[in-house]
Amino acid sequence: MEQFEYYNPARIVFGKDKELETGRLVKPYAKKVLLHYGGGSIKKNGVYDRVVASLRQEQIEFVELAGVVPNPRYSMVQKGIALCKEEQIDFILAVGGGSVIDSAKAIAVGYYVDPSVDYWETYFMTGKPAEKALPIGVVLTMPAAGSETSSGTVVTNDETHFKRSIGGECMIPKFAIINPENNYTMPKYQISCGCADIFAHLMERYFTQVSHVDYSDRLLEASMKTLIHYAPLALEHPCDYDIRAEIAWVGTIAHNNLLDRGRLGDWGSHDLQHELGAIYDIYHGEGLSIMFPAWMKYVWKENPERFVQFAMRVWGVDYAMEDPERTILEGIHQTEVFFQRLGLPIRLHELNIDDTHFREMAEKLLVNREYAGNFKHLTVDDAYNIYCLAK
């Protein structure tokens, strides 16, 4: 186990009708709020009305910025920064899923970046940590990204087609309101994509080369087993509170950094997916359900024991004493079967993506960094080979 710090001061407010407490939670921080959201689904399911009523009840002034899209855009971030300055905003309220929250975080940090500095090049393209941000609050409508209590944001530059992340404690939201009822109206495919994202967050942390990390291994296994049980049930019973609550709670814990203290996660599959997402406008979750199994097949020999443990403890595969490789491959196969059961693709051709951009994506992956992934340090050739395995 490596040395670590853990600090997460986000207040999680979880349960039915909790969005009605938005005003109370915003009040200590804000005079004037930027209400940030996506394509308007929150207007259809009533979340918008309840949040706005709660803000009005506390006499909190707000300005709206709608229209965040999946793979949130840097152009929207720039628009948000300008709006916050113009309107003298002192708090950003993100109402939505990971894209909206990530957009809000990027605006919150960008607000304090010296206008003479190129925000994108200085931070996103170098990974320079964010040091100051406007305070943020979240009303979560979709369990997936875990951004509601995390310290990071991922943004796509719509001009350069780079998808990059930055991190910093200052971005951890002050509060995250999680009402699983607000997930009932999610389309089934969105539920699946969200679960794949959560599962990928757990696997990214699980596949580490750091040894003596048994406790966090077990916490990660507990989280994966919960998701394996409940994700298919959520598709069958989309309006069952108890099922949705389990998934929502896993989704938050999976990405609040608790589960990777003392270890170094991989994140290669996320990076490979980010390059896909920057070129093809696919859902993050479906990109992950394709890239993760391909990555696993390519890298397992770097630490077979870890893949044996994954197969045995997460999937209940028996240990094949005379041929442990069979245990490993069965664990990877079970992972694919799980994604398929959720109706997700596990090969690129299922999304009509061919090898046209494989080399380009592999090269972009390595721009401004020596390698991608920590479990195995991926080169351009490695990345290209993994895209080929995913074909």
For binding to a second copy (CB under 8 A), which residues are involved?
Answer: 1-16, 18, 211-212, 214-216, 218-219, 221-223, 225-226, 229-230, 242, 245-246, 249-250, 253, 258, 261-262
CB of 6 to a second copy, least distance (A): 4
| Complex with a second copy: residue 107 or 253, whichever CB lies closer | 253
Residue 270 vs residues 34, 190, 197, 262, 293: alpha-carbon distances, Å: 30, 18, 9, 20, 12
CB of 84 to a second copy, least distance (A): 26
What span, in angstroms and rounded, lies between the C-alpha atoms of 5 and 28?
Answer: 27
CB of 178 to a second copy, least distance (A): 10
| Phi/psi of residue 37, nearest 5 degrees | -155, -175
| Complex with a second copy: residue 218 or 341, whichever CB lies closer | 218
What span, in angstroms and rounded, lies between the C-alpha atoms of 296 and 317?
Answer: 16
CB of 13 to a second copy, least distance (A): 5
| Complex with a second copy: residue 73 or 244, whichever CB lies closer | 244
CB of 260 to a second copy, least distance (A): 12
CB of 215 to a second copy, least distance (A): 5
Helices (H), 254-346: 268-279, 284-299, 304-309, 315, 324-341
Q: In a 3-state reduction of DSSP, which class is residue 261?
A: coil
| Complex with a second copy: residue 25 or 290, whichever CB lies closer | 25
What span, in angstroms and rounded, lies between the C-alpha atoms of 291 and 335?
Answer: 12
Find the farthest-apart pair of alpha carbons in the chain and give their distance in angstroms, rounded: 69
| Complex with a second copy: residue 1 or 82, whichever CB lies closer | 1
Q: In a 3-state reduction of DSSP, which class is residue 209?
A: coil
What span, in angstroms and rounded, lies between the C-alpha atoms of 365 and 357?
Answer: 12
Q: What angle in degrees, to the nearest 10, is found between the helix axes of 380-389 and 358-365? A: 140
| Complex with a second copy: residue 246 or 286, whichever CB lies closer | 246
Name the nearest CA neighbour of 329 among 346, 307, 313. Answer: 307
The structure tokens listed for 368 are: 């401004």
Radius of gyration of the chain (CA): 20
Q: Positive or negative, the Cα torsion across 77, 266, 281, 160?
A: positive
| Complex with a second copy: residue 73 or 263, whichever CB lies closer | 263
Residue 158 and residue 118 in contact, taking contact as beta carbons nearer than 8 Å:
no
CB of 184 to a second copy, least distance (A): 16
What span, in angstroms and rounded, lies between the C-alpha atoms of 92 and 138?
Answer: 9
| Complex with a second copy: residue 141 or 273, whichever CB lies closer | 141
